Amino acid sequence: MSLIVMKFGGSSVGTAERIKKVAERIIASKEQGNRCVVVVSAMGDTTDELIDLSNQLTDHPPAREMDMLLTTGEQISIALLAMAIQSFGHEAVSYTGWQAGMITEPVHAKARITDIRPDRVLASLDQGKIVIVAGFQGISGDGEITTLGRGGSDTTAVAMAAAIHADYCEIYTDVDGVYSTDPRIVKCARKLDQISYDEMLELANLGAAVLHPRAVEYAKHYDVQLVVRSSFNHNEGTQVKEEAEVEHGIVVKGIALDKNVARISILEVEDTPGILAKVFTSLAKEGINVDIIVQSGTLNGKADFSFTVSSADVGKALQVIENIRPEVSYREVTSEAGLAKVSIVGAGMVSNPGVAAKMFEVISGQNVNIQMVSTSDIKVSCVVAADRANDVIIALHSAYGLDTSEQAFVGGPKERR
């Protein structure tokens, strides 16, 4: 008998029919003698639709009310799933994030979990019930409803698994594991039997939506056994663990894509000590994440520098830079949206010279201009035009010997924003 956390993403519970299928799957696990805590996301595209609704009312939806709105999505799916399970004659109870004891920092839209008090969850398990918990949501110390960032239900699941000392955590989604790249872009992507926490964290941080980065951080920190598999079939899935076996000859393990990249350039900045600190501290204070930073050489005491932010943050970032103009002297600020970051990831890269050079060659072979580059021991990222990113990924996947002869499993269409 195991204590397990099972998480089902939006497309897994997209319709009443799908909810029934998920209910049957959970019951099957219970009947094998397991104690089950289930975390669910909002149905299908509900979260996107709620965001669209708010945008019809205002250009600047207040963060507090946005969290109030978005958390309703998960509340619908937990209630429906509990009903479905009960209709099959099994006991189930649904809990919102706050009822399940998910305490977060007092931040809207991307709060971190600070504490979990799973008393009610454990008490219901002891009563023999299947416990259904709403993903992606929590409550701050001052009693405000918060959300964990897009895709955050994975984090709810892994954090809950750590808090109740579950034997393992299963992430059920619409693909049957973690692939070498998004199988929606590369049909012959390679399914990985296992991947290390560090490689998965890098891929997730670089845009691979299959797991929320914080979920991987949690799993690594609390040593949670994590499996990614499909709710549409019974295939084995991918284990995410401390050390994954290295497949002979494979240096690049995965390729990630982030299509929401924008570049901001500040031209002819007075090149004195403290200028970069001033700019980036001001951006950080507004919660804007800066990614790749490039500074050009100095000419006549002035330098140009460029950095990337997520497309959603461009307006706010430009405003911040305008606001500090009295303290930072520069000639002009420009910005460019419609960019994408393509990254290759692999723990073996550090000891294999020429991996980055090959990436640049492959991209230029596609006649695509590389606008920015950033590297670390286990990854190389290139910023390119978003509308050519898929071609680049397909070419890289083949060049690094990752193509397989099998067709990847993808459970139904999905529009990615």
The SS3 assignment for 80 reads helix
Between CA 277 and CA 150 the distance in angstroms is 29
Query: 39 vs 114, 169, 352, CA distance in Å?
Result: 18, 10, 41
Closer of 27 and 210 to Mg ion (Cβ): 210
Q: Which two tokens stand for residue 384?
A: 């390119």
DSSP state of 268: E
The SS3 assignment for 225 reads coil
From residue 238 to residue 267, the character string flagging contacts with ligand ADP as x (rule: CB under 6 A) and all else as - is ----------------x-------------
Between CA 407 and CA 99 the distance in angstroms is 42
Closest distance between Mg ion and the C-beta of residue 268, in Å? 42
When CB distances are held under 5 to 8 angstroms depending on the partner's kind, the choice from ligand ASP, ligand ADP, Mg ion, none that residue 208 binds is: ligand ADP
For residue 266, report the phi and psi dihedrals to the nearest 5 degrees: -110, 120
When CB distances are held under 5 to 8 angstroms depending on the partner's kind, the choice from Mg ion, ligand ASP, ligand ADP, none that residue 175 binds is: ligand ADP
The secondary structure element, H or E, covering residue 270 is: strand 254-270
Closer of 213 and 346 to ligand ASP (Cβ): 213
Per CB under 6 A, does 173 bind ligand ADP? yes
Query: 330 vs 262, 285, 388, CA distance in Å?
Result: 20, 21, 32
Per CB under 6 A, does 112 bind ligand ADP? no
Q: Which stretch binds ligand ADP (CB under 6 A): 75-83, 103-111, 180-188, 391-399?
A: 180-188
Per CB under 6 A, does 343 bind ligand ADP? no
> Amino acid identity, residue 53?
L
Closest distance between ligand ADP and the C-beta of residue 341, in Å? 13
Q: Which stretch binds ligand ADP (CB under 6 A): 177-185, 308-316, 355-363, 370-378?
A: 177-185
When CB distances are held under 5 to 8 angstroms depending on the partner's kind, the choice from ligand ADP, ligand ASP, Mg ion, none that residue 47 binds is: ligand ASP
Q: What is the DSSP string of 106-157?
A: S-SSSPPEEEE--HHHHHHHHTT-EEEEETTEEEETTS-EEE--TTTHHHHH
Per CB under 6 A, does 100 bind ligand ADP? no
Give bridge partners of residue 256 from the DSSP assignment: 343
3-state per-residue secondary structure call for 317-359 = HHHHHHHCCCCCCCCEEEEEEEEEEEEEECHHHHHCCCHHHHH
Closer of 80 and 328 to ligand ASP (Cβ): 80
Query: In the block, which residue shows the tokens 């594991």?
Result: 177
User: Given the rule CB under 6 A, which residues bind ligand ASP?
Assistant: 9-10, 41-42, 47, 73, 135-136, 150-153
Per CB under 6 A, does 41 bind ligand ADP? yes
Between CA 185 and CA 385 the distance in angstroms is 16
Between CA 256 and CA 392 the distance in angstroms is 11
Closer of 67 and 182 to ligand ADP (Cβ): 182
Closest distance between ligand ASP and the C-beta of residue 276, in Å? 33
Closest distance between Mg ion and the C-beta of residue 77, in Å? 13
When CB distances are held under 5 to 8 angstroms depending on the partner's kind, the choice from ligand ASP, ligand ADP, Mg ion, none that residue 136 binds is: ligand ASP
Closer of 217 and 304 to Mg ion (Cβ): 217
Cβ-Cβ contacts under 8 Å for 96 (sequence gap 6 or more)? 71, 74, 75, 78, 134, 137
Measured from each CB, the residue nearest to ligand ADP is 9
Per CB under 6 A, does 118 bind ligand ADP? no
When CB distances are held under 5 to 8 angstroms depending on the partner's kind, the choice from ligand ADP, Mg ion, ligand ASP, none that residue 135 binds is: ligand ASP
When CB distances are held under 5 to 8 angstroms depending on the partner's kind, the choice from ligand ASP, Mg ion, ligand ADP, none that residue 174 binds is: ligand ADP
Q: Which two tokens stand for residue 99?
A: 């009822």
Interacting positions 70-99 with ligand ADP (CB under 6 A): none
The SS3 assignment for 75 reads helix
Closer of 101 and 135 to ligand ASP (Cβ): 135
Cα 399-401-403 angle, rounded to 5 deg: 100
Per CB under 6 A, does 151 bind ligand ADP? yes
| Closest to 69 in 3D by CA, of 154, 2, 146, 11 | 146
Q: Can you tell me which of 90, 184, 259, 358 binds ligand ADP, judged by CB under 6 A?
A: 184
Q: Can you tell me which of 67, 74, 174, 291 binds ligand ADP, judged by CB under 6 A?
A: 174
Q: Which stretch binds ligand ADP (CB under 6 A): 24-32, 207-215, 283-291, 380-388?
A: 207-215
Interface residues with ligand ADP (CB under 6 A) are 9-12, 41, 151, 173-175, 178-179, 181-184, 208-210, 254, 414
